[in-house]
Amino acid sequence: MLTAIADGNITIRDQSNQQQDIAKLSNDTQNAANPLDKIFNAEEQMRNLEAINLAGQIVSQVTSIATNIGVKNAQDEAKASMEAASKDPVIQAQARENLAKQDITNPSQEQLNKATYDVVYQAAYERQMETYGTGSNVGRAIQAAGAALTVAMGGGSAGNAAAAASAPLLA
């Protein structure tokens, strides 16, 4: 019921054109004023939105942690392989080529060492991101868990959470 008229006297000013039977008018003003209050709980919806926001923050932090693990692993891998890389003619050629792009044709040993590290680090970083980056198995697992968490915390059903969790794995 969307409208109601409180009990009282009703005056019809244009009786000749009156077509509605006033006996059928609703007098239930308690349920007419705000029919949404029975289907919409603003406080609950705000709690759900806050929970969804929190879940999104958690997923973002876990994604950052995974990326940072990959970066740290790449740094460790690059440092560990520097001695061998400094003797590898292919890596040295790439380092010198990268320096030449910066107009450094006669690099100091320090510049060459840094350029060598950059070449080794970039390769290690790309390998690590295959494991920890966006689109990797770890990345998709984080997205799946995050989707399920977001749906569950937002008041969704277990079925909806499972469907949300499967989406990144099926993509």
Contact predicate 126/65, CB 8 Å: no
CB of 66 closer than 8 Å to CB of 91: no
pLDDT for 53-112, tens place per residue? 998 899 999 999 999 999 999 999 999 999 999 999 999 999 999 999 999 999 999 999
**Distance between CA 1 and CA 26 in Å, rounded?**
8
Q: Is the pLDDT of residue 141 over 80?
A: yes
What pTM was estimated for this model as a whole? Answer: 0.66
Domain ranges within the chain, ordered by starting residue: 1-40, 43-170
Model pLDDT, residue 108:
96
* pLDDT of 2: 60
Average pLDDT over residues 132-147: 89
DSSP 16: T
Range 125-153 average pLDDT: 89
Please state, in angstroms and rounded to a whole number, the distance separating the CA atoms of residues 99 and 109: 12
Q: Predicted confidence band at 126 (pLDDT cuts at 50, 70, 90)?
A: very high
Average pLDDT score over the chain: 85
Res. 33 pLDDT band, cuts 50 70 90: low
Q: What pLDDT is attached to residue 74?
A: 96
